[in-house]
Structure 1
């Protein structure tokens, strides 16, 4: 489960992405246009220390773009090339925001969603001592591969930015589709998403087991 805070971020996530996205090779959108948030979901960090959130955004009239992010309370050593930016959280203080593909907490969570249908974390607020659940804005569907345990995935051995972005680890290669599209028939385990206004499942990620 993901505990959320009613907080202000300066700069906001979309402001950070508006500055960062145009520098990506896979960026497609309208130059200088405001970003629109389409849908989001979160995965759990078992240690409860790192926020893991996938944002689907659109720049102007461009296509939907997938941007998985991690939020940390301190810099991630060796990950400067994957830093999206820093922001001030009105409750938690300074936060370092990274492209999640290079953050060691993300691949295990993504592998579990793709291979075991682990789904997304339930998001909630604490309000006067009670839990207030925030309804999800998109629905994830994994392949639920029978008899396959999600591989133990450590820190990525290699991350190749592009569309898809490839995350290579010991037992699996994960592909993050930056411009989600209708899923083609494939033998590879995959993760799809739908959201209001998008009833046709779009492919977010797939996995190749070694």
Structure 2
């Protein structure tokens, strides 16, 4: 489960993305245009230290872009090239926001969704000692192979930033689709999603066949 806070971020996530996205090789949209949110989903960090959220956004009238983000309370060593930016969280204080594809907490979470149908984390607020669950903004469907054991997935040893973005993290290689649209699924192990305005599931990520 993902605990959320009713908080203000300065700058906001979308403001950070408006500055960062045009520099990505897979960017499509209007440079300088406002970035708007289409949907989002979260995964759990078992240690409870890192926020893992994937935003689906548009830049102006451009196509939907998928951006996995990792929120940390301190800089991640060796990851300066993957830093989206820093923001001040009114409850948690300074947060370092990274492209999650290069963050060690992300590949195991993505692999669990792609290979074992783990799904998204349930999001909730704490209100007067009780949990106030927030309805998801999109649905996810992952593969589930009966009897198959989820491998222990390590930190990424290489990330190739493109469309798709390839995450090589032994013993698997995962692909994150940056511009998700209805498409043929290239693997039996995949993650698909649907959201308001896109009722037919589209491919979000998959395991690269070896």
TM-score class, shorter-chain normalisation, is: over 0.9
Secondary structure in 2 matching 1:154: coil
Secondary structure in 2 matching 1:15: helix
Task: Verify the 8 A CA contact 1:40 1:54 in the aligned structure 2.
Answer: yes
Measured against aligned partners, the alpha-carbon deviations of 1:104-155 in whole angstroms (never above 9, x if no partner) come to 0000000000011000000000011111000000000001122222221111
CA distance in 1, matches of 2:55, 2:152: 25
CA distance in 2, matches of 1:192, 1:163: 16
CA distance in 2, matches of 1:60, 1:121: 29
- Give the superposition deviation at 1:185: 4.3
TM-score (norm 2): 0.97
- Which structure 2 residue ranges, 5 or more long, are not aligned? none
Secondary structure in 2 matching 1:178: coil
Task: Verify the 8 A CA contact 1:115 1:149 in the aligned structure 2.
Answer: no
Secondary structure in 2 matching 1:173: strand
- Give the superposition deviation at 1:31: 2.1
- Which structure 1 residue ranges, 5 or more long, are not aligned? none
State the partner residue of 2:151: 151
Moved runs in structure 1, 4+ residues, more than 6 A?
none
Please tell me the root mean square deviation across aligned C-alpha atoms, in Å. Answer: 1.0
State the partner residue of 1:163: 163
Matches within 5 A, 1:84-95: 84-95=84-95
TM-score (norm 1): 0.97
Confirm or deny that 1:78 pairs with 2:78. yes
How many equivalent pairs are there?
A: 210
State the partner residue of 2:31: 31
State the partner residue of 1:197: 197
CA distance in 1, matches of 2:193, 2:142: 9
